[in-house]
Amino acid sequence: MTDKTDLNRIYDVIIVGGGPAGYTAGLYASRAGLASLLFAGASTVSQITVTDLIENYPGIPDGINGFELMERFQRQAVKFGLEVVAADATTLESRPYEGKALWMVRADNLSYQARAVIMATGAYWRKLGVPGEEEFAGRGVSYCATCDGPFYRNREVVVVGGGNTAVQEAIFLTHFAARVTMVHRRNRFRATGILSQRALANPKIETVWNSVVEEIGGDSGVEWVRIKDLRDGATRLLPASGIFIFVGLLPQTDLVAGLAARKEDGAIIVDREMRASAPGLFACGDCIDKSLRQVITACGDGATAAYAAQLYVEEYKGEAY
Ligand SMILES: Cc1cc2nc3c(=O)[nH]c(=O)nc-3n(C[C@H](O)[C@H](O)[C@H](O)COP(=O)(O)OP(=O)(O)OC[C@H]3O[C@@H](n4cnc5c(N)ncnc54)[C@H](O)[C@@H]3O)c2cc1C
C-alpha cells in the first residue's frame, strides 16, 4: 500500500477495483508512464482471492492459489509505480475542466482527481431470494466453496446452479462432503462439456434436475432444503448441513449509475477499446457486459482499457504522438 497519495494532484488515471482487471490496468498504465492510482476496495475482495486453485491461467501449468496470483499481480503493478489505496470508492462524478472532463473519485471522505477513470469493480453473487437464505447466511448458506467447504467434512451439502462455477465448486466440495446434491432448474448443466462430464462421473455428486429451491430451514443452522419439481410441482426436503448458491453474478457498477450506459443487469457497456459511454471513462473485467468472466479475460480487458486510457490522456494533455 502507498503513503504518498497527493490529494491536490491530478492523476492521469484512477482505477477502481483491485482484482485481475484492475491490477493489469494498473500495470499497463504505470508502465506506460501514466500517474496512476488504484482503489483496491475495503469492504469487498477480488473473486480470485477466494479461489483455491486456478488451473486455467496460461503459463502456470501446475495451477496457482488465487490469493497468491493476486499478490503477484499487485507486486508487479506496484513495481512500475502504481499507487494503491485500500479503500472503497464511494462516489464518482465528472466536471468540466479546461474544456474537458475532470473525474472526481471520493474514497474515505477524501476527493481524488483524474483525467481518466477505469472501472474494474467486478461482480458479486446473485441471491436466490428464498426464505431462510438471509437467516442462515454464514450458518450453512454460502456463496464460496473454497472459503467454507472444509466446514462440511463428511456432511451432506446442496449446490444450486448448473453453470461453470456451480459445477466446478460442486466438484471441489466432494473433497470434503460425504455427498453433494446439485439442484438445477433445467435438465442438463450449462457448464462446459469437460466440467459437466467430470461432475456426472463423480460418485459423490447426485443431480436433481428440473427443480428449484423453495426454502432453507433448520434450527441453529441449516438442516434441510425444500425443493420443488418444476414439472409436477411436487415438493420434498433434502437433508443438508450446507447449501452453496451459484446462480449468477451481479456486476458492481452502482458508481457509474447515471454516468454511463449499462445493461439491465448493471454490466457496463463498452466498445472494443473498453471505452464506456462517457468521455474519459473506461471499464474492464467482470463489471462489463461480456460473455466469459475469467481471470484471463479480465486481464486482457484491463490491458486494453489502460492502453485506451493512455491514448485518451495523451490527447487530453496535447501529447498525442
Ligand atoms: C469461486 C470462484 C472460482 C473461480 N475460478 C476461476 C478459475 O478457476 N479461473 C478463472 O479464470 N476465473 C475463475 N473465477 C472468475 C474470476 O475470479 C473472475 O472472473 C475475476 O476475478 C474477475 O476479475 P475482476 O478484476 O474483473 O473482478 P474481481 O476479481 O471481482 O475484483 C473486483 C475488485 O473490485 C473491488 N471493488 C468493488 N467495488 C469497489 C469500489 N467501490 N471501490 C474500490 N474497489 C472496489 C473489489 O474489492 C475487488 O478487489 C472464479 C470466481 C469465483 C468466485
Q: What is the largest CA-CA distance in the chain?
A: 68
Q: How far apart are CA 244 and CA 145, in angstroms?
A: 7
* CATH number of the CATH domain containing 272: 3.50.50.60
Nearest CA to ligand 1 atom 20: 295
82 and 120 part of one domain:
yes
Asked whether residue 1 is assigned to any structural domain, the reply reads: no
| Ligand 1 atom, smallest distance to 125 CA | 53
Residue pLDDT tens, the chain, 321 long: 444 556 679 999 999 999 999 999 999 999 999 999 999 999 888 988 877 778 889 999 999 999 999 999 999 999 999 999 999 999 999 999 878 899 999 998 899 999 999 999 999 888 999 999 999 987 999 988 876 888 899 999 999 999 988 999 999 999 999 999 999 999 999 998 999 999 999 999 999 999 999 999 999 999 999 999 999 999 999 999 999 999 988 999 999 999 999 998 899 999 999 999 999 999 999 999 997 888 999 999 999 999 999 999 999 988 766
Locus of grid cell 425444500: 226
155 and 209 part of one domain:
yes
- What CA–CA distances, in Å, run from 222 to 147, 207, 212? 17, 20, 17
Quick one: pLDDT at residue 4? 54
Asked whether residue 192 is assigned to any structural domain, the reply reads: yes
46 and 120 part of one domain:
yes
- Helix or strand or coil: residue 49? helix
Name which of 3, 1, 31, 9 is nearest 302 in CA terms: 31
**Other beta carbons less than 10 A from residue 112's beta carbon:** 24
Q: How far apart are CA 280 and CA 283, in angstroms?
A: 10
132 and 113 part of one domain:
no
Predicted confidence (pLDDT) per residue in 32-83, tens digit: 999 999 999 998 889 888 777 788 899 999 999 999 999 999 999 999 999 9
Cβ within 8 Å of residue 37, ≥6 positions away: 5, 11, 13, 14, 15, 82, 83, 84, 85, 112, 114
98 and 48 part of one domain:
yes
Q: Residue 234 — φ and ψ, nearest 5°?
A: -70, 140
Q: How far apart are CA 122 and CA 267, in angstroms?
A: 10
Name which of 121, 91, 124 is nearest 108 in CA terms: 91
Q: How far apart are CA 301 and CA 258, in angstroms?
A: 23
| Ligand 1 atom, smallest distance to 44 CA | 47
Which residue among 1, 24, 37, 47 has the greatest number of ligand 1 atoms within 8 angstroms of its CB, and so is best to mutate?
47
107 and 137 part of one domain:
no
Q: Cα(200) to centroid of ligand 1, in Å?
A: 27
Quick one: pLDDT at residue 1? 47
Active-site residues, by number, are: 144, 147-148
Nearest CA to ligand 1 atom 9: 54
274 and 226 part of one domain:
no
54 and 77 part of one domain:
yes
**Other beta carbons less than 10 A from residue 216's beta carbon:** 27
CB 26 within 8 A of CB 124: no
- What CA–CA distances, in Å, run from 203 to 14, 193, 242? 49, 18, 19
Asked whether residue 2 is assigned to any structural domain, the reply reads: no
Asked whether residue 3 is assigned to any structural domain, the reply reads: no
Quick one: pLDDT at residue 51? 73
192 and 46 part of one domain:
no
Q: Do you know the residue count of the chain? A: 321
Quick one: pLDDT at residue 3? 46
Ligand 1 neighbours, Cβ below 6 Å, are: 16-22, 39-41, 44-48, 50-51, 54, 56-57, 88-89, 120-122, 144, 146, 165, 169, 252, 255, 285-286, 293-296, 298
Q: How far apart are CA 107 and CA 88, in angstroms?
A: 6
68 and 107 part of one domain:
yes
241 and 131 part of one domain:
yes
The DSSP letter of residue 268 is: B
Asked whether residue 321 is assigned to any structural domain, the reply reads: no
**Other beta carbons less than 10 A from residue 120's beta carbon:** 34
Report how many domains make up the chain: 2
The range of the structural domain enclosing residue 257 comes to 10-124+249-316
- Helix or strand or coil: residue 194? helix
